[in-house]
């Protein structure tokens, strides 16, 4: 495929962006009384409103033309049918099969993968129910009360986020903890607050060789042996593995019957739907875990089958491309007005930036356009009191996704109404802003002198014309969360497909890790290190003198 910047549809969008810049989003509402109806979609209990973007019918038509020129429909189908679209690693990308609750066959290399997926789900259910019932106990016969997931990247961010998001469904007496950082502080502080007799450790590592995970796992093992274990075999009652390396798992002391497998066609940042979600299942139960899978499956069906003009992930992706490539926006904020979703921005950072933070296309050529924006955010209303100043009056225009539920899990007093009043107000304020004349009128009502008014006036003006998407859904249930996460996954996929990059490898993670392995032995002993550039040498030698 030739560079997308050479496509006629790309050039047409460039021309169109110049026209769009001559008007504001607020003016577009004035000229179109049915703008909200035209640029919003209902799907089940979710409403997606994208009308507060600098777009017209022509914008959407031109973006659809770009998607068609990039053969998007075929690329979507290639993912679902198990083609090896992760071409640098020669792997299929079948996380959608993990949540294929409709049970239809999904073939890879001519073999249906669904029987092995169902077998792992059954294995998970048996284990989860044995822990909840008290059939599975620790080595001293006490019931499990705490679960510690030890992983990193996708083996940590996804499960940790979901466990926070679905806390209202934690009805099984299990508290989850997550250890990922190699910084000893992370595991030390976690071990302080758990009881080794009632704690189950989940070691989540596909290869069982990931440095951070295995180092933390060995520390947890030594702590456990020191605290209560009478025999090495007691490890088997307190440690399970999510892995494919049975030999290493067995050597660690884990019973292979308590190893839960997943496959190389499951990328780390897409793995929470697999046995990597064991911590989630233990916290909320397998019925709720499978309800989350079903919600994701419903979004998969929508994404695969709906025409582009009614397809939520496709529209989200095209809007992101519009902002990134044609309007010059280099970051994107995600603001959930739901405290349970406070970890969602962290999760989406990895999903988006590790997937599409690429500079080389499928043909090995350097791309001639921007790829992934910087993803960031925090929960509302906290975000309003930290970085919304920049969003309203800063020099950068930052597109935003706002998410909220119409029904709260904790509907006490006026809290939820106040929360939603802020949710609605922020999208309007970002779009409308406050003109100089409006600001002047407000200041005049305060009885200021002419000099005071003129001094203060520029600081009270809000430029507005700041774009946003709004997602409003009935309640944050397991099924709704599954749909939201699948929606963002597919958005990322569509953008990678149009940019003609591989969204499913992550070679950029490797270089620093390779260099760290070279540096680690240099930190031993007292000899001065001279093998690096002067800055790195200086930093290492300062550490060695002051450790």
pLDDT of residue 253: 93
Per the annotation, the verdict on 513 as an active-site residue is: yes
What gap in Å lies between CA 477 and CA 167, rounded to an integer? Answer: 10
- Looking at the domain assignment, is residue 15 inside a domain? yes
Check whether residue 43 and residue 140 sit in a common domain: no
Check whether residue 119 and residue 266 sit in a common domain: yes
pLDDT of residue 472: 98
What gap in Å lies between CA 246 and CA 236, rounded to an integer? Answer: 14
DSSP 8-state code for residue 337: S
Check whether residue 418 and residue 490 sit in a common domain: yes
Check whether residue 412 and residue 526 sit in a common domain: no
Are residues 40 and 268 in contact, defined by beta-carbon separation less than 8 angstroms?
no
pLDDT of residue 229: 72
pLDDT of residue 103: 85
Check whether residue 478 and residue 541 sit in a common domain: no
- Looking at the domain assignment, is residue 498 inside a domain? yes
pLDDT in tens, 490-541: 999 999 999 999 999 999 999 999 999 999 999 998 999 999 999 999 999 9
Check whether residue 268 and residue 188 sit in a common domain: yes
SS3 71: coil
Check whether residue 48 and residue 175 sit in a common domain: no
- Looking at the domain assignment, is residue 441 inside a domain? no
Per the annotation, the verdict on 385 as an active-site residue is: yes
Choose the final residue of a domain: 236, 257, 290: 290
SS3 140: coil
Choose the final residue of a domain: 290, 325, 340: 290
Are residues 196 and 228 in contact, defined by beta-carbon separation less than 8 angstroms?
yes
Q: What angle do CA 115, 118, 123 make, to 5 degrees?
A: 125
pLDDT in tens, 197-246: 999 999 999 899 999 999 999 999 999 999 987 788 899 999 999 999 99
**DSSP characters for 428-462?**
HHHHH-B-HHHHHHHHHTTT--HHHHHHHGGGG-B
Give the mean pLDDT of the chain.
96
- Looking at the domain assignment, is residue 82 inside a domain? no
Structure tokens at 439: 């600001």
List 42, 474, 513, 517, catalytic entry: 513
Considering only CA atoms, which of 107, 470, 56, 28 is closest in space to residue 265?
107
- Looking at the domain assignment, is residue 76 inside a domain? no
Check whether residue 143 and residue 227 sit in a common domain: yes
The number of distinct structural domains making up the chain is 3
The CATH number assigned to the domain holding 514 equals 1.10.1390.10
Residues of the chain predicted below pLDDT 50: none
- Looking at the domain assignment, is residue 358 inside a domain? yes
DSSP 8-state code for residue 340: G
> Does 381 sit behind a cis peptide bond, omega within 30 degrees of 0 on the bond before it?
yes
* Residue whose structure tokens are 């001094």: 455
pLDDT of residue 86: 96
Check whether residue 148 and residue 274 sit in a common domain: yes
pTM for the structure as a whole: 0.97
pLDDT of residue 232: 84
What gap in Å lies between CA 430 and CA 53, rounded to an integer? Answer: 11
Radius of gyration in angstroms for the set of CA atoms belonging to the chain, rounded to a whole number: 26
Check whether residue 317 and residue 392 sit in a common domain: yes
The CATH number assigned to the domain holding 485 equals 3.40.50.10490
CB burial string 360-385: b at 16+ within 10 A, e below? ebbeeeebeebbbbebbbbbbbebbe
List 6, 14, 251, 385, catalytic entry: 385
Which ranges of 166-210 does DSSP label H, i.e. alpha helix?
184-191
Which residue range(s) make up the domain with 518? 510-546
Check whether residue 135 and residue 160 sit in a common domain: yes
Check whether residue 325 and residue 264 sit in a common domain: no
- Looking at the domain assignment, is residue 438 inside a domain? no
The residue length of the chain stands at: 547
Per the annotation, the verdict on 42 as an active-site residue is: no
What gap in Å lies between CA 78 and CA 363, rounded to an integer? Answer: 18
pLDDT of residue 1: 65
Choose the final residue of a domain: 235, 266, 290: 290
- Looking at the domain assignment, is residue 85 inside a domain? no
List 354, 416, 489, 490, catalytic entry: 354
């Amino acid at each position: 495929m030739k560079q997308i910047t050479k496509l006629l549809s790309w050039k047409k969008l460039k021309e169109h962006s110049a026209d769009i810049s001559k008007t504001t989003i607020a003016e577009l509402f004035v000229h179109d009384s049915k703008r909200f109806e035209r640029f919003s979609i209902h799907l089940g209990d979710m409403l997606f409103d994208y009308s507060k973007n600098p777009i017209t019918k022509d914008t959407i038509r031109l973006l659809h033309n770009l998607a068609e020129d990039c053969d998007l429909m075929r690329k979507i189908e290639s993912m679902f049918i198990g083609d090896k679209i992760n071409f640098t690693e020669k792997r299929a990308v079948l996380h959608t099969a993990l949540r294929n609750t409709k049970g239809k066959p999904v073939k890879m290399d001519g073999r249906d993968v669904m029987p092995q997926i169902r077998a792992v789900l059954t294995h998970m259910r048996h284990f989860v129910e044995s822990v909840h019932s008290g059939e599975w106990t620790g080595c001293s016969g006490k019931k499990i009360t705490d679960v510690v997931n030890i992983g990193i990247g996708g083996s940590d961010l996804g499960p940790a986020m979901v466990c926070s998001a679905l806390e209202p469904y934690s009805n099984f007496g299990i508290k989850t903890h997550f250890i990922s950082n190699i910084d000893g502080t992370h595991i030390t502080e976690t071990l302080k607050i758990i009881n080794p007799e009632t704690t189950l450790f989940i070691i989540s590592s596909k290869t069982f060789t990931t440095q951070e995970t295995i180092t933390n796992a060995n520390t947890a093992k030594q702590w456990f042996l020191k605290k209560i274990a009478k025999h090495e075999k007691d490890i088997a009652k307190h440690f399970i593995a999510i892995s494919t390396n049975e030999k290493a798992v067995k050597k660690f002391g884990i019973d292979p019957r308590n190893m839960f497998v997943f496959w190389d066609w499951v990328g780390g940042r897409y793995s929470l739907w697999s046995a990597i979600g064991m911590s989630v299942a233990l916290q909320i139960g397998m019925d709720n875990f499978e309800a989350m899978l079903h919600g994701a499956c419903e979004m998969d069906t929508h994404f695969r089958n709906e025409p582009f003009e009614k397809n939520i992930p496709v529209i989200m992706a095209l809007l992101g491309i519009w902002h990134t490539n044609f309007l010059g926006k280099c970051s994107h904020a995600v603001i959930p007005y739901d405290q349970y979703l406070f970890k969602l921005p962290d999760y989406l950072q990895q999903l988006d930036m590790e997937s599409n933070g690429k500079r080389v296309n499928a043909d090995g050529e350097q791309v001639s356009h921007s790829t992934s924006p910087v993803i960031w955010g925090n929960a509302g209303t906290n975000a309003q009191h930290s970085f919304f100043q920049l969003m309203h009056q800063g020099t950068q225009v930052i597109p935003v996704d706002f998410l909220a539920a119409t029904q709260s899990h904790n509907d006490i007093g006026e809290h939820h109404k106040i929360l939603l009043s802020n949710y609605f107000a922020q999208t309007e304020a970002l779009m409308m802003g406050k003109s100089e004349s409006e600001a002047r009128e407000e200041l005049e009502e305060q009885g200021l002198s002419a000099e005071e008014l003129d001094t203060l006036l520029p600081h009270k003006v809000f430029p507005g014309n700041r774009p946003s998407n709004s997602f409003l859904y009935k309640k944050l249930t397991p099924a709704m969360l599954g749909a939201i996460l699948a929606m963002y996954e597919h958005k990322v996929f569509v953008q990678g497909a149009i940019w003609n990059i591989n969204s499913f490898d992550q070679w950029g993670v490797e270089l620093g890790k390779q260099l760290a392995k070279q540096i680690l032995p240099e930190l031993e002993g007292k000899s001065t290190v001279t093998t690096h550039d002067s800055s790195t040498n200086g930093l290492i030698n300062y550490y060695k003198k002051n450790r």
